[in-house]
Amino acid sequence: MLKFPPSLIPLIQHMGVAICLMATSALLVGCATDTSRGQSDYKVDATTAWQKLDTVAYRGKQDDISFIDANTGWYGNGAGKIYHTRDGGATWKEQLDRPGTFVRTIGMVDAKRGFMGNVGTDYYPGVTDTTPLYETRDGGETWSPVPMNRITGPVVKGLCAIDILKKQSIYQGVLQNRTIIHAAGRVGGPGFVMRSLDGGETWKTLDLSHLVGPILDVKFFDENVGMVFAATAADVEKSNALILQTRDGGVTWKKVYQSNRPFELTWKASFPTRDIGYATIQSYNPDQAVSKRVVAKTTDGGNTWREIDLVDDFAVREFGIAFATENLGWVGTTTSGFQTTDGGATWTRVNMGRAVNKIRLIPSADGLVGYAIGVDVHKLILLRPNRNAN
């Protein structure tokens, strides 16, 4: 379990949504997507703003939201609730109410098929559900545990992230569609990755607990090359932010980034292109003199990373991140959102809600639609330049 020193607990509770100890692809989001290369791909000006959607009130940070197109999506939270929209978030229908389950991550393959990760027991108060992975085959109307006879390997304690990759390949002269899914966790550890190469019909678990403490996010570019975003230790006082890379489908892992400061972990990642990627670095250092917040950035597909400044503000703790292009992106934090239009060289505070943990960017006919979930759910519409002139 991720261990916090007693002196740090009042700070976390004061920030409320910081880590929610109160109990709480080819879509863009934190996925690799070949977009064009600049801010000019989308209209960003004073009128570009995130709008709060009307959702059921929740006390704390909500963790994930998943859309299959600009209008059809799902989100969940630590109360064991899942909500579904078919009209771009104008209205939501409750699909799941399972007290004791902590809906930490959702990944939908299509309108019918999807997966939900539960954080598991022995971390957040009130969580009694020990099943790590659920599936739906009817668009979220029902959710069932993925049976153990379809999972090979050790039992996973809980999950924090689901990465869905749709690939096309040629087999014996026939073009085939493949869905590769990785699910990873968890906050507090131990670190495991669940891996499916057949769209979630069968799974293999990879035990990384000897290499990492918690795993908070996962991203694969194909069935072999991928990364986990993690921390070196479950004890946050001893923890550095950590990114591991594999090139053989998880058989072996190589460290490609490690921070040199205690009280840190990586949280979420976003790859707007195959080469350009970003990851949020969380700091839990109780020393108020340690107030500089940074984001990790790669320009070579995750082989190497460097730190770029986000803000100098002790009250800020980073959560979700998403980039629409290699230059235009957002970071969610405890206090507000941050936007960059120059690849992280400069950042501007924006109102996109508090404690935004996941940001999904979905292609639309006119540009992109963004959804950000934290304490609330917010929506952003990004238009291509001169779209209205057509």
CATH of residue 105: 2.130.10.10
91 occurs within a structural domain: yes
Q: What is the pLDDT of residue 2?
A: 57
| pLDDT tens-digit map of 294-328 | 999 999 999 999 999 999 999 999 999 999 999 99
**CA dist., res. 111 & res. 233, Å (int):** 38
**CA dist., res. 85 & res. 89, Å (int):** 6
Tell me if 133 sits within 8 A of 146, measured CB to CB.
Answer: yes
358 occurs within a structural domain: yes
User: Containing domain of residue 270, as a range?
Assistant: 6-389
Q: What is the pLDDT of residue 11?
A: 39
Copy the structure tokens of residue 17.
């949504």
How many domains does the chain fold into? 1
33 occurs within a structural domain: yes
| pLDDT tens-digit map of 218-262 | 999 999 999 999 999 999 999 999 999 999 999 999 999 999 999
Above 80 in pLDDT, residue 195? yes
Q: Give the number of other CB atoms < 10 A from CB of residue 224.
A: 13
Tell me if 60 sits within 8 A of 78, measured CB to CB.
Answer: yes
Copy the structure tokens of residue 286.
């109780």
**CA dist., res. 10 & res. 59, Å (int):** 18
Copy the structure tokens of residue 256.
């490609």
Distances (CA, A) of 62 to 24, 58, 248, 310: 8, 8, 33, 23
Residue with tokens 């004791």, as numbered in its chain: 100
Which pTM value belongs to this model?
0.90
**CA dist., res. 291 & res. 225, Å (int):** 34
Tell me if 254 sits within 8 A of 228, measured CB to CB.
Answer: no
Q: What is the pLDDT of residue 20?
A: 33
Above 60 in pLDDT, residue 356? yes
Q: What is the pLDDT of residue 1?
A: 53
Mean pLDDT along residues 126-153: 98
Residue 34 pLDDT class (50, 70, 90 cuts): very low
Q: Strand pairing of 226-231 and 203-207?
A: unpaired
Of 11-20, 102-111, 208-217, least confident by mean pLDDT is 11-20
1 occurs within a structural domain: no
